[in-house]
Amino acid sequence: MRTRRRLTSIGRCQGRELWLAPSILAADMTALGAQVRTALAAGATWIQADIMDGHFVPNLSFGPLIVEALRPLSDGLLDCHLMISQPERYIDAFADAGADLITIHVEATPHVHRALQAIKARGLLAGVALNPHTPLSMIEEIAQDLDLLLIMTVNPGFGGQRFIAHSLDKIRRARQLLDARGLQHVVLQVDGGIEPDNVRAVAEAGATCFVAGSSVFGAPEGIAAAVDAFRRALAAT
């Protein structure tokens, strides 16, 4: 992945570098800075901020101010996943707050290509997300414009949900689509129900970045131990 940020992989599978992206949606907001620092110190140089508007998804989270507060904590990659309607309205706000990567949903705007171009015009990496029911055909005409493709393996809006098992087939087909078009540089990210127990299967299906919220920030063994558990699971690939 081409980025100006420090980005250390957490493993390799089938010749591909792998990254863990803890989602702060599951973090303790009263100790957000300390928890993010712990995750970064444990080796997770990619942090995801899940932005929810209560309209596109049935939940509210946070906005650019939290992203701005996170920015000084790390020279790693700060990923903003916009689960919001008409995300193009907020690209500048999250770019100004310090995002390195902005991911939008194809279901959230009729102007996906225009939004991707607006993200890139700000010098940021651009991603597109697909909900579980959304077919891969929705990105066929924009695949060449992507830095990241996100496959949702739960219905977005809430953390702590179970991984939808048949999503593995969709991940495999997404990998085939990218590889067939010579787009191996595009990060294939997966979000929803990712745990050390299933991350190996997801990597073997072709994913290269794993978003983990409650299985990192809510892990009873602690954040650093949880990151290490992902590292050990992926080392087995």
Residues annotated catalytic, as ranges: 50, 191
- Decide: residue 102, CB within 10 A, 0-12 exposed, 13-18 middle, 19+ buried: buried
The two tokens of residue 151 are 């496959």
The two tokens of residue 42 are 């444990």
Pairing type for strands 77-83 and 46-52 reads parallel
Secondary structure tally for the chain: helices H, strands E: 8, 9
- Distance CA(26)–CA(211), nearest Å, equals 11
Q: Which helix (H) or strand (E) holds 225?
A: helix 223-235
- Distance CA(215)–CA(64), nearest Å, equals 24
87, 60 contact by CB (below 8 A): no
11, 203 contact by CB (below 8 A): yes
143, 182 contact by CB (below 8 A): no
